[in-house]
């Protein structure tokens, strides 16, 4: 398995994988439970620069020339700037005044979404990507990594805690109750 920065050419695969991770949150963004519409929406932004879903903010894992996992990660301090084109698009094309809470903040690189191909789930691929991100951001760059985990997904939380993350608070995102976890260089 090779883990690398994403390119624009990876957008279709990334959109499908991030949609696996986001599901109903993506549907709220496009104002309906429509898989194709949500995937097109994500693909549109993944192919563009300077937004939270941009390929610039994605890392992929590939095996046998296929992308099997994707993660979206960005500087939490840039959330408002990166989110602005997404909000503008939603308002313009879906006539929606969606209010989205800030899921991250200054002082952390935020793992927004991590999706693993359904046929490859349970094989440790997600753990390998998280370990890769910990090495790159926490060990090498001396940055804090943060993420949110749904309170209804205790297995995911258990995995992140095992990898060294600590619970630092709670957040609400589009009606979802989430635990805010972080790992920072001082705790390694």
117-128 tens-digit pLDDT: 999 999 999 999
Residue 24, pLDDT score: 83
Residue 49, CA distances (Å) to 88, 112, 116, 183 in order: 15, 17, 23, 27
Q: What pTM was estimated for this model as a whole?
A: 0.94
Give percent above pLDDT 90 in the chain. Answer: 83
Place of tokens 């002082």: 107
**CA pair distance 112, 52, nearest whole angstrom:** 9
CA distance 155 to 149: 10
At 23, the pLDDT band (50, 70, 90 cuts) reads confident
Specify which residues 186 forms β-bridges with: none
CATH, residue 152 = 3.40.630.30
68 membership: H or E segment, kind and range: strand 66-75
Q: What is the CA radius of gyration of the chain?
A: 16
SS3 152: coil
Mean pLDDT of 136-147: 97
3-state secondary structure of 118: helix
Domain count, the chain: 1
- Asked if residue 188 has pLDDT above 80, the reply is no
Strand order in the sheet with 2-5: 2-5, 58-63, 66-75, 109-116, 145-150, 176-183, 166-173
Residues 6 or more apart whose Cβ sits within 8 Å of residue 102: 79, 80
Arithmetic mean of pLDDT, 84-89: 95
Q: Please give the average per-residue pLDDT across 19-30, as a whole number.
A: 89
Mean pLDDT of 106-113: 97
Q: Residue 59 gets which letter from DSSP?
A: E
The residue range of the domain holding 41 is: 2-187
């Amino acid at each position: 398995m090779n883990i690398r920065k994403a390119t624009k050419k990876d957008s279709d695969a990334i959109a499908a994988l991030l949609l696996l991770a986001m599901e109903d949150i993506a549907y709220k963004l496009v104002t309906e439970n429509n898989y194709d519409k949500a995937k097109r929406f994500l693909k549109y932004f993944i192919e563009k620069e300077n937004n939270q879903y941009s390929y610039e903010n994605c890392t992929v894992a590939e095996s046998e020339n296929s992308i099997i996992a994707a993660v979206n990660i960005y500087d939490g301090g840039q959330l408002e700037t990166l989110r602005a084109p997404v909000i503008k698009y939603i308002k313009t094309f879906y006539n929606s005044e969606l209010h989205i809470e800030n899921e991250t903040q200054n002082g952390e690189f935020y793992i927004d979404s991590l999706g693993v191909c359904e046929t490859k789930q349970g094989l440790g691929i997600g753990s390998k990507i998280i370990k890769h991100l910990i090495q790159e951001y926490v060990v090498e760059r001396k940055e804090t990594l943060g993420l949110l985990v749904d309170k209804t997904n205790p297995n995911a939380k258990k995995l992140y805690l095992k990898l060294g993350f600590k619970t630092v608070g709670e957040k609400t995102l589009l009606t979802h109750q989430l635990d805010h976890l972080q790992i920072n260089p001082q705790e390694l």
